[in-house]
Structure 1
């Protein structure tokens, strides 16, 4: 006996003429990719099916219908992100109908998907970050020049909280055309961040030590003019003397984290998250962390308070006698806006 396939939203046997016209519009006039058109078609098939069940024409759909359909999708387990994407497709369709004079307004305009929980930034523990930053390959296990470069990259990402774009934009020396550079005497990294905003970040002693070591090795690879537009002035280069790309750094850092024995593959932004989380844990100064990260809004930085609470909750679980008692474990709660589900020990 053949297994019964899972129930799916039924699609209409024949596309509504308005849907056909709209798909032709996005395909021909907007020149959207065929895959995007297919996704729009699937979204509009859901819309047609819902309208048919409700006994209304597409041009007579109201926001009350749409809210009911959103609630139904959510109750069936569709994610908030998935619903948001479907609503986006429907919203575009009714925007087009409005321009064509076929509907008086866009019924999807004020309909929102269920709130999507923001995931916590992924950060290493202090021990894991220090383990990675202090890791060194034996001289017999790899190229000493690559080792000096990769260790310096790791120290700067974790020690300064740089974005990967800020790191690859660093030049070996300050100049009028440099997007970023490091002042060795002052112990500061000057970078160009999001929105073309410049900021200065302190560079710690361990990172400066690694930088001295890398600059000595870099001189053997650097060639004037090898970097094209930047004139070969890039701080981090490959064996050909060219500026490293973000993808190259991602691959090297993932490999290095595995060599250092970390269970989780590390990507550059994880070290930025770790920098922010660990500074906040030690100082409690949210405004200072905002300045160090170059966030335009402190709301963005506040995500790290959730990581900080998780750190405190783990300490509570491990140290407080009532946290380890039967029936009384892990009763500490975060504020409602940052509370995360946690299992008692």
Structure 2
């Protein structure tokens, strides 16, 4: 009886507090996917239970998200916190009110269809062999058959975003760890470039569109390709669709298995005591574990990374050899692979000129 009375009093007190002290709005803008945002909502709901705040979350596209946030701010939209890429453009820094907090570190890993593959390729050579042996035309022939028809491909097995510097750097770095330096190995560079061109010219990899990322995800989930490279941020999408996939490190080249490393961060755009408390909460180890649980994203929290390492987590293992990509390097990767490399694939230049152009990019980047 006493317990019931106490409970009733407690509820009345809570209702009174909510009535007298309404929840303060915290507006958050994020470029997370829909499934990632659901994970964020669960995490913020835990915080909301013990704090008088209400979270308003707005999703925007990842592409051009800095410009979109600027537009909203210029329209006098109140944004307390935003989740943005760590490669923050200089012009955006004036909007940030305090030191950013890392939300996740990103790298690429290899994902494969467990229904079709029992043991994934461990080396780049094994990956090339898998592509050549299993990409087939409508007659069931692979490229090793004299009757193979490259214009009538029915079964692809690997999606390669050959116009993306981020994705392609994983292959070139694994073959040559100096790929991003002026000490780039010419022979290895040309060998990889020529191998990719061979796959491209013989239609052993799908031709890509401007929206290659969505195409890659959809083809993978539909079973139209067996292998892709993607990051842990995408895992929740496959799980939601009930797709059974495996995770492995990027196949090793001559110099090992490498991946580009990027990341996402929280930035404070409106300085207030409530927003600062939320930022502090988002930096905690307990929150890092929740983001991993819901979204498979890894926060660079030392204790948490040690736990994952002991569990032999594939993403944590890949992060050990990942190479951080700064803004300038990201730009030259984008420019080279979206223009020069495409020209090379379409016979607008030979491999020698392609190498010289890459070297020019690197030297210019080093001295500027």
Shorter-chain TM-score above 0.5: no
More helix by share: 1
Q: TM (normalized to structure 1)?
A: 0.29
Q: TM (normalized to structure 2)?
A: 0.27
Query: Higher RCO, 1 or 2 (CA under 8 Å, sep at least 6)?
Result: 2
More strand by share: 2
